[in-house]
Amino acid sequence: MSDYLEYRGYLGTVEYSAEDNLLCGEVAGIRGLIMYHGDNLSDLKQDFEAAVDHYLLCCEEEGIPPQAPCRGELNIKISPEVHKRLEIFAMNNGKTRNETVEDALKLYITA
């Protein structure tokens, strides 16, 4: 079971608004707010797909590249102490920082 929608590589949240008594969500992983809603899951999915299509069409019309979701770049902030320990761990294991972080995330996510 998944708690998200997926369309054309974009992911969308699925939430319930008790105040409005409807399902709603937003496209995840991009800078900018793309929201959608529906009375039921089918309507929510349809509005999500329409929102993604509209976003891509607007980008095309304006001649700007759409933001790629989950493009493989992640900018995180960590404490200097953790950063230092990461550097030492990576060096001691013959890996780069990125390889070490990716390995750690894979272990955490699949656990």
Verify that 53 and 86 share a domain, yes or no. no
Tens digit of pLDDT for each residue in 9-61?
999 999 999 999 999 999 998 888 899 999 999 999 999 999 999 999 999 99
Query: Is 46 within the bounds of a domain?
Result: yes
Tokens of residue 68, six digits: 């790629």
Domain range spanning residue 90? 80-110
Verify that 57 and 87 share a domain, yes or no. no
Query: Is 73 within the bounds of a domain?
Result: no
User: Is residue 2's pLDDT more than 70?
Assistant: no
In the chain, the number of structural domains is: 2
From 102, 100, 76, select the one nearest 87 (Cα to Cα): 100
Q: Chain-wide mean pLDDT for the chain?
A: 91
Verify that 8 and 57 share a domain, yes or no. yes
Query: Is 27 within the bounds of a domain?
Result: yes
Verify that 20 and 54 share a domain, yes or no. yes
Share of the chain above pLDDT 70, in %: 97
Residue 101, exposed/middle/buried by CB under 10 A (0-12, 13-18, 19+)?
Answer: middle
Verify that 55 and 15 share a domain, yes or no. yes
pTM of the predicted model, to two decimals?
0.72
Verify that 30 and 58 share a domain, yes or no. yes
Verify that 58 and 84 share a domain, yes or no. no
d(CA 104, CA 98): 10
